[in-house]
Structures are given as structure tokens and as C-alpha cells.
Amino acid sequence: MRQSQLLLPTLREAPSEAEAVSHQLMLRAGLIRQLAAGIYTYLPAGRLVLRKLEKIIREEMDNAGCQEVFMPAMQPADLWRQSGRYEKYGPELVRLKDRHDREFALGPTHEEVITDLVRGEVNSYRQLPVTLYQIQTKFRDEKRPRYGLLRGREFMMKDAYSFDADWEGLNESYQRMYDAYHRIFSRCGLHFRPVEADAGTIGGEGGTHEFMALADIGEDTIAACDHCRYAANLEKAGYRIPEGEINTGDSEAYPELEKIHTPNVRKIDELVQALDVSADRILKTLLFLADGKPVAVIVRGDHEVNEIKLAGLLQADKLELADQETTERLTGAAVGFAGPIGLSIPVIVDYSAAGLDSAIAGANETDYHWKHVRPGAHFVAARLRDVRNAVLGDGCPNCAEGKLRMFRGIEVGQVFKLGTKYSEVMQANYLDATGSEKPIIMGCYGIGISRVMSAVVEQHHDEQGIRWPLELAPYQVHVVPVSAKDGQQMDVAGKLYRELMSAGFEVLLDDRDERPGVKFKDSDLIGIPVRIVVGRQAADGVVELKYRNEGEVLQATTEEALGLVTGYFRS
């Protein structure tokens, strides 16, 4: 491709609203342009990268035995009513009416559509297993789209759905997709980790993994063991239960409770100041309404309640912090003086709080706290559980010696075991060998394709610009004659360009009449793996090869150039 013809509008500066590096670089390198918040156009170079990404995904999906389909974006609301999800999602679900005033949604995902298709076409065990996938635009009206393609409102996703006769079959389908995801993200040059995640409302019975691209801009936090393979989204990450430290009944003597006057001392850090104690000696008491039922949760003062774990423990669809009025009614005290002693509602205690003795806790009396509180003696937990966020340095829940470290990640893929979550409510059944009707066992598997593109740029760039992994670069070779006015340089460059193209390489020829500095800055910015500079030495048949990812520069004759490029891409 001749760069003088290519719509590749590079920018010296990134627009100020672009905060993430990948967002800045994708705008500056002329890959995308914003149409509206969270909605982007892919320019030619950006489209080339997207297409290469899709190619990798298709190869691995087909290699894993999946069949590609293509489903509509417009989905009848009735399908979402059958699955019970139409009312469940708020403004994030894009809704519209057709000319006959019939209700539709623009698909944020396709469980309902694919289950509707399969229930109509699959009815015998002989037709199972089957895994169908598509690459389709998704619509999710995010409240705060940001970071360019990382959190968009219209984006490309590969979504796959597996259909099996039983759970054993699902486990095989799941493993096959899990392995295919490993290959896909490796070929994309991503540093990634599969982590255990919370199946939440979407997932079925069997668990889920998220594939996280490690990047500080990532919105997810991963807890990973420094000794074994354990890694989990912080939503779900456990910690090693401090068995020995949990008060069991009462062996040794302990000091009497002492009520202390703590006027207006409500928060943990205020208590730390006022009583000169460390936060890990304080019992933090939070009151929640779980589907409307009040419950008190106790964690150590230096820990945070993990509401996803709590909601899962209580099997609550709706979990919210009790408001001031409820708190005052339940504790008989103003907010900030709640404590576990004397409460008439169930008390859930986190393991790490259960080991304290002579702790500080609210006295359920305005302006008063207790000293020398001992869980297990002064109050008994209705339930002793892991209801807090894991923290750096916690013991690994999976092995005896590891400790947890924290990383930020971008969720680029997720695999779910759905079970019969959709097949039951939508009657997607099959007749087994004995002729009895059974619900199909499903799994679903997503890759955020546009998000992968951003994650790759987040992980592969330097001060000068993007450094594309070989399989994703918009072009493989960038032939850059230094002066468009120098006929000899242009001849040598043109010859190299044609030679490389006929050898099957994707080549961009910078035939613009621009100053060398502009050409080199643009070349570094768009990040094509191999640059061949044709300068003054072209007269002697010598050119310069610069490898964008390794930074290496070498002189070579024009005859050697093709061989060097071939070796580099084949190695």
C-alpha cells in the first residue's frame, strides 16, 4: 500500500480526553476515531488489525470444532421475557420499537437468541454436542464509557455457545474452549492469566474463568499466589483461613468488657486516632439488607466486606447497605456505633475477625464503644465465613506456603458453565437414547475483540508508539525512502516494495513528500515490525533494517533484505 494514498491520519498529540495509553496511541496512530461516547470508527489500519484478530480467533475456534454462525443484533423482547432477563437489566440494555410498535433489544449478548435457535433445530442426543460461535457487534449502554475501546457501548465480540447432553460433555466443551483461549491470547502476544471468577447472576451452576490481560489500566483486580497456580478475580478470591487463631469457646481468662465514651468517633480511622489503636484491633460492624432481611457483618477494621461473596453466601438477589434510619432502629444507636453485642439480628463474622481478643467494637449506644471485646465470648457468630476482600500478603487458600499478590487486569475473555440456566426456562430439550426428554446442558464463551486490541496496545508500546506483535501488525514491512525527491532512493524503495509484495508480505511504502523526521516519527508511532530505510547509501545498494520490537538496527544490501525479512517472520 502506498502511504500517500492511505487514510492514516496520525496525530502529534493525543486529545486530552484520552486517559489510557492505548486510547491515546490508537487515536494518534490513526487506527480509530470516535463517533460518539464509547462508539468508534475503525480506520483502514485499525480495520486491518481487527481482521487479523478475527482470523486468529476463527482459526482457533474452527480448530476446536466450533461452527460459525451469524446472529441478528435486533432481538425480540419476548425472548428476553422468556428468559426472565428483560426486566432484570436497566438502561444498559438498548431497547427500541419497530414500525409496528413491537419491542426489541439491540443484543448485548446472545444466550436467548442462540437458545431459541437450538430449541427449534436440535431435539435428539444424536445432534449433540455442538458448539456455535459468531463474531458480532454488541450493544451495552454503559453509564461511563471510557478508555477508548476498553469500555465501549458498541463493540466487537466473539461469543460461542456449547450444547451438550450432560455435564460431562459440558466439562469437555469447557476445557476445549479454555485451551483454545490460551492459544488465541498467546498468538495475540498478550501476557494473560486465566483466573477463577464469580459466576454471579449470569453464570449457571458450574463456575467460570476470566482471562485477564495484565495491565495497570485494567479495572479488575486479580489475587494470585506467589507459589502455586491459584489466581482469582478479587470478587471471588479466598484467603487461607487462620485456623489456629479463631477463638474456640473459652480456654484462657480474658479482661472484662469496658464501655468507653467516644463522642462523635464513628469511623475506623477516627477510632484509630482517638484510642491510639491499630485498625486490625477493631471490629467493623456493617448492617445490610439481603432481599430486605437485615443482617450484621463483622470484619476486622483493616478489611473490607466483599459484597459479592456476601450475596452468594446469603443467596440474595438484592444486597444493600442498611440506610441510616434502619441502622438506628436496629442498633438503637446513631450510625458509627454499631457493634455485635446485643444485636437482635443474625451476625456473620469473617474468619479474620473471629480471632481477635480484647478488640474495640461499637456499643450499640450513641457515642460509646466497647473495649476488650472477644468474639466467641461476648457474642456468638450466627455464621463464621470468608466475607471479605483478600488482601496483599494473605495466605493462599489453595496451598500451604504461598502468599497472595495483587495485579490489575483487563478482562479480555470469559468462559461460563451455564448448565440449564437458559435451556430450562426456554424449553431447549433433547430426547436421549431411551427417548426421555432432558434439558440441554450449555456453556458460553466470550472474547472482547475490540478490547483485546486495546489490551495488546497497553502491553506493547514504548515512548515512540505502538510495537505490534507480528501476527497483528497492520502491515509487516514499512519501506521508508528518506527523500521523495531523490529519484534513486525512490527507485530502490519501489523495487524493494514490489519484491516484498510479490513474496507475499504486507508492505506499506512511505512515498510521501515529507521531511525524514516526520516519516520516522510516524513509522515508530504505527509500530510496523520491520522498517527498511532507503537513504543515501541506496546508491551503493545498501539499506538499513530497523526491528521495531527489538530496537535492533542493521545495514544490509538490497539483495539480502528479502531474506532477512523472510527469516524474521518465519522464525
Burial of 501 (0-12, 13-18, 19+ CB in 10 A): middle
- Considering only residues 537 to 566 of the shown chain, the ones binding ligand 9G3 according to CB under 6 A are none
By C-beta, is 110 or 187 nearer to ligand 9G3? 110
Q: How far is the CB of 108 from ligand 9G3 (least distance, A)?
A: 4
Could you identify the residue written with the cell 474463568?
Answer: 209
Burial of 41 (0-12, 13-18, 19+ CB in 10 A): exposed
Q: How far is the CB of 223 from ligand 9G3 (least distance, A)?
A: 22
By C-beta, is 379 or 445 nearer to ligand 9G3? 445
| Nearest-angstrom CA–CA distance, 531 and 509 | 10
Cell readout for 504 is 507475499
Cell readout for 427 is 424449553
- Piece of the chain touching ligand 9G3 by CB under 6 A; list 323-331, 375-383, 443-451, 486-494: 443-451
Q: How far is the CB of 160 from ligand 9G3 (least distance, A)?
A: 7
Q: How many residues bind ligand 9G3 (CB under 6 A)?
A: 14
In DSSP terms, which residues pair with 195 in a beta bridge? 210
Q: How far is the CB of 418 from ligand 9G3 (least distance, A)?
A: 9
By C-beta, is 140 or 209 nearer to ligand 9G3? 140
* CB-nearest residue to ligand 9G3: 446
Q: Which of 46, 108, 169, 194 binds ligand 9G3 (CB under 6 A)?
A: 108
By C-beta, is 139 or 430 nearer to ligand 9G3? 139
- Asked if 109 interacts with ligand 9G3 (CB under 6 A), we say yes
By C-beta, is 175 or 488 nearer to ligand 9G3? 175
Phi, psi (degrees; rounded to nearest 5) at 140: -140, 115
- Piece of the chain touching ligand 9G3 by CB under 6 A; list 57-65, 88-96, 311-319, 507-515: 88-96
- Considering only residues 208 to 247 of the shown chain, the ones binding ligand 9G3 according to CB under 6 A are none
| Nearest-angstrom CA–CA distance, 329 and 432 | 57
Q: How far is the CB of 117 from ligand 9G3 (least distance, A)?
A: 14
- Piece of the chain touching ligand 9G3 by CB under 6 A; list 89-97, 262-270, 352-360, 366-374: 89-97
Torsion angle of alpha carbons 114, 117, 121, 125, nearest 10°?
30
Half-sphere exposure of 334 (CA within 13 A, CB side): 10
By C-beta, is 95 or 227 nearer to ligand 9G3? 95
- Piece of the chain touching ligand 9G3 by CB under 6 A; list 23-31, 96-104, 444-452, 557-565: 444-452
Q: Which of 444, 473, 496, 534 binds ligand 9G3 (CB under 6 A)?
A: 444
- Piece of the chain touching ligand 9G3 by CB under 6 A; list 6-14, 37-45, 103-111, 285-293: 103-111
| Nearest-angstrom CA–CA distance, 538 and 534 | 6
SS (H, E, C) 382-422: CEEECCECCCCCCECCCCCCCEEEEEEEEEEEEEEEEECCC
| Nearest-angstrom CA–CA distance, 33 and 10 | 11
- Piece of the chain touching ligand 9G3 by CB under 6 A; list 145-153, 185-193, 307-315, 440-448: 440-448
Q: How far is the CB of 258 from ligand 9G3 (least distance, A)?
A: 51
Q: How far is the CB of 65 from ligand 9G3 (least distance, A)?
A: 18
- Considering only residues 380 to 419 of the shown chain, the ones binding ligand 9G3 according to CB under 6 A are 414, 416
Long-range residue pairs from 252-257, CB within 8 A, at least 24 positions apart, any chain = 254/357, 254/358, 254/372, 254/374, 254/377, 255/358, 255/372, 256/372, 257/341, 257/370, 257/371, 257/372, 257/373, 257/378
Q: DSSP string covering 39-71, please?
A: EEEEPHHHHHHHHHHHHHHHHHHHHTT-EE---
- Asked if 180 interacts with ligand 9G3 (CB under 6 A), we say no
- Piece of the chain touching ligand 9G3 by CB under 6 A; list 30-38, 87-95, 179-187, 220-228: 87-95
- Asked if 159 interacts with ligand 9G3 (CB under 6 A), we say yes
The length of the chain is 571
Q: How far is the CB of 312 from ligand 9G3 (least distance, A)?
A: 17
Q: How far is the CB of 308 from ligand 9G3 (least distance, A)?
A: 15
Strand 429-431 relative to strand 437-439, pairing: antiparallel
- Piece of the chain touching ligand 9G3 by CB under 6 A; list 86-94, 349-357, 361-369, 463-471: 86-94
- Asked if 363 interacts with ligand 9G3 (CB under 6 A), we say no
Could you identify the residue written with the cell 492505548?
Answer: 22
Distance of CA 371 to the CA centre of its chain: 43
- Considering only residues 117 to 146 of the shown chain, the ones binding ligand 9G3 according to CB under 6 A are 140
| Nearest-angstrom CA–CA distance, 360 and 382 | 20
By C-beta, is 82 or 537 nearer to ligand 9G3? 82
Distance of CA 44 to the CA centre of its chain: 27
- Asked if 93 interacts with ligand 9G3 (CB under 6 A), we say yes
Contact yes or no for 208/416 (Cβ under 8 A):
yes
| Nearest-angstrom CA–CA distance, 68 and 61 | 8
In this structure, what DSSP letter does residue 255 have? P
- Piece of the chain touching ligand 9G3 by CB under 6 A; list 104-112, 426-434, 476-484, 505-513: 104-112
* Dihedral sign (CA 509, 512, 515, 517): negative
Q: How far is the CB of 332 from ligand 9G3 (least distance, A)?
A: 42
- Asked if 89 interacts with ligand 9G3 (CB under 6 A), we say yes
| Nearest-angstrom CA–CA distance, 22 and 461 | 8
Q: How far is the CB of 448 from ligand 9G3 (least distance, A)?
A: 9
Q: How far is the CB of 82 from ligand 9G3 (least distance, A)?
A: 14
- Residue among 381, 344, 346, 340 at smallest CA distance from 257: 340
Contact yes or no for 222/409 (Cβ under 8 A):
yes
Q: Which of 19, 78, 92, 291 binds ligand 9G3 (CB under 6 A)?
A: 92
Residues interacting with ligand 9G3, by CB under 6 A?
89, 92-93, 108-109, 111, 140, 159, 202, 414, 416, 444-446
